[in-house]
Amino acid sequence: MTELHERIGIILLGAGKGRRMESDLPKVLVPLAGKPMIVHIIETLRSVNAVWPPIIVVGYRADDVKAALGNEFLYAVQTESLGTGHAVMQAEAVARGKYDHIVVLYGDQPLITASVVNELIETHVREAADLTLMTARVPNFDGWYAGFKNFGRVVRGADGKLDRIIEKRDATPEQLENTEVNPAYFCFRAAWLWKHLSALKNNNAQDEYYLTDLLGYAIQSGARVATFVGDAKTALGANSKEELALLERVYRGEN
């Protein structure tokens, strides 16, 4: 692991209810292999080259999440479920001034590894980027790869550089055949993030503020954007009982 002379902060989003899980638990407390999904991630983050502890954004049944995790962590509260961008906005007061760069991760993607997070950070610092994201490539959307069908597709220019992300709902059938996908694992230069986060708009069908919209701002404004291709398995998440069952199989090596 490369020694960094930068202050790297981690914001872990864990405010969701998880309606499609058919459970009253906060989504991040739904167990994977007998352990809450978010606990898998926190255990991984202890081996990451970043400032400890991470900031955890809580919302639905916030006290239950805090009780499960303990007082070791910094917490921010999202009282309304208004999207990933809005969740990071709630963490700004806790994070501002503490870090040079901010990694944003998700409490329902429990297969992420320390090596992927460290590569995200090291790529970001090495490239002196304003925004860095991991992408993943899959051979198809069959079998356990079906978990990536709903991910945004990565569009690159003729030079191989990132051009844009097309969300599934906006993609043509031809674009949906693209097998490079966006897990939304980001690292931001902190000053850039706080400057542009407030510019997010909620003019979409869900009336939510999407963190992924910052990528479009970065590309359009000429900000420095870096990418790397990471292990697809580490990007799998769970939004339903079916996806959780798939995660269980992958976790046990049955894919």
Predicted confidence (pLDDT) per residue in 54-91, tens digit: 999 999 999 999 999 999 999 999 999 999 999 999 99
pLDDT of amino acid 22 = 77
Mean pLDDT of 157-176: 90
pTM: predicted TM-score of the whole model, two decimal places: 0.94
Cα(123)–Cα(35) distance, integer angstroms: 31
DSSP per residue, 38-88: HHHHHHHHTTSSS-SSPEEEE-TTHHHHHHHH-TTSEEEE--S---HHHHH
Q: What single-letter amino acid sits at 63? A: D
**How many C-beta atoms lie closer than 10 Å to residue 243's C-beta?**
18
And the tokens for 160? 């191989």
The single residue of 7, 20, 61, 137 carrying the catalytic annotation is 20
Mind listing the domains of the chain with CATH numbers? 8-251 (3.90.550.10)
Ranges assigned E (strand) in the chain: 8-14, 31-32, 35-36, 55-58, 74-77, 101-106, 131-137, 152-156, 162-166, 180-189, 225-230
pLDDT of amino acid 1 = 46
20 classed as catalytic: yes
Cα(187)–Cα(205) distance, integer angstroms: 27
pLDDT of amino acid 170 = 85
Mean pLDDT (the chain, rounded): 93
